[in-house]
A and B are shown apart, each in its own frame.
Chain A
Amino acid sequence: QSALTQPASVSGSPGQSITISCTGTSSDVGHYNLVSWYQQHPGKAPKLLIYEVTKRPSGVSNRFSGSKSGNTATLTISGLQAEDEGDYFCFSYITISTSWVFGGGTKLTVL
């Protein structure tokens, strides 16, 4: 159950768009559409942003979107805002072990 690979940090200016990648294998990210994304602010519980690769829960801004190509899932945040600053984690099902795994996390800085 090795962690999925995410960039350690990304940054962008207000109004810009950024992407965060989440790379796994054909046994996890690439196998099913069971990838979700979470935002976490310091000292707070994580918040679900995207589930099943592209679906957005009610109440989550449409500035957040998800996609997948092969073994890599991507979270896109458009129209960056100061409150988007925080940590982002991807999460995927692992088919061969019927378990789950998080990515290592990405720290987003809004410049």
Chain B
Amino acid sequence: EVQLVESGGGLLQPGGSLRLSCAASGFTFRTYWMQWVRQAPGKGLVWVSRINTDGTNTTYADSVKGRFTISRDNAKNTLYLQMSSLRAEDTAVYYCARDGGKGGLSYWGQGTLVTVSS
């Protein structure tokens, strides 16, 4: 069974940093592109970032470019999102999702909540 389990969320102050993790199981992690998507409370889905199978190709939404870094450790079957210079508008549930290769996000984690507030 495919499982994606995010962790690392929490409450932090503006300007802070945080690293989210997404532990993958039930499939050959190293063969899939992966994505991060976020959702502010009561709002819609927002694309954050995408990474290819070996981590050499990454793309970001303009709103997080230069502040967030996506990476992966295929030996540990884990996806990461390093977030820095956090702002109140980064407050959201962050989901990791498995990308079928052409943008179909076929499996999602349960999400982890990041709250940025002073």
A residues sitting closer than 8 Å to B (CB atoms) are 1, 3, 34-36, 38, 40, 45-48, 51-52, 55, 57, 87, 89, 91-93, 98-105
Whether a CB of chain A sits under 8 angstroms from the CB of B32 is no
Given the interface pairs A89-B44, A99-B47, the reply to whether A34 lies near B105 with Cβ below 8 Å is no
Q: Give the distance to chain B from A34, nearest Cβ to Cβ, in Å.
A: 5
Q: Give the distance to chain B from A78, nearest Cβ to Cβ, in Å.
A: 21
| B 90-116 contacts with A by CB, 8 A | 95, 100, 102-106, 108-111
Q: Are A36 and B105 in contact (CB under 8 A)?
A: yes
**Inter-chain contacts of B100 with A (CB < 8 A):** 51
**Inter-chain contacts of B95 with A (CB < 8 A):** 45-46
Q: Are A45 and B111 in contact (CB under 8 A)?
A: yes
Partner of B45, one of A1, A48, A99, A102: A102
Q: Are B44 and A91 in contact (CB under 8 A)?
A: no
Q: Give the distance to chain B from A40, nearest Cβ to Cβ, in Å.
A: 8
Q: A46-B45, A52-B102, A91-B105 are in contact. List 15 more A-B contacts (CB 8 A).
A: A1-B63, A3-B44, A34-B102, A34-B103, A45-B109, A45-B110, A48-B105, A51-B104, A98-B59, A99-B50, A99-B60, A99-B62, A100-B50, A101-B47, A102-B45
Whether a CB of chain A sits under 8 angstroms from the CB of B21 is no
Q: Give the distance to chain B from A11, nearest Cβ to Cβ, in Å.
A: 19
**Inter-chain contacts of A102 with B (CB < 8 A):** 37, 44-47
Q: Across the A-B interface, how many residue pairs have beta carbons closer than 8 Å?
A: 70
Q: Are B45 and A92 in contact (CB under 8 A)?
A: no
Cα-based distance from A45 to B61 in the complex (angstroms): 20
9 A–B pairs (Cβ distance < 8 Å), ordered by A:
A46-B45, A46-B95, A51-B102, A57-B104, A100-B35, A100-B50, A100-B59, A102-B37, A104-B44
Q: Give the distance to chain B from A76, nearest Cβ to Cβ, in Å.
A: 18
**Inter-chain contacts of B108 with A (CB < 8 A):** 45-47
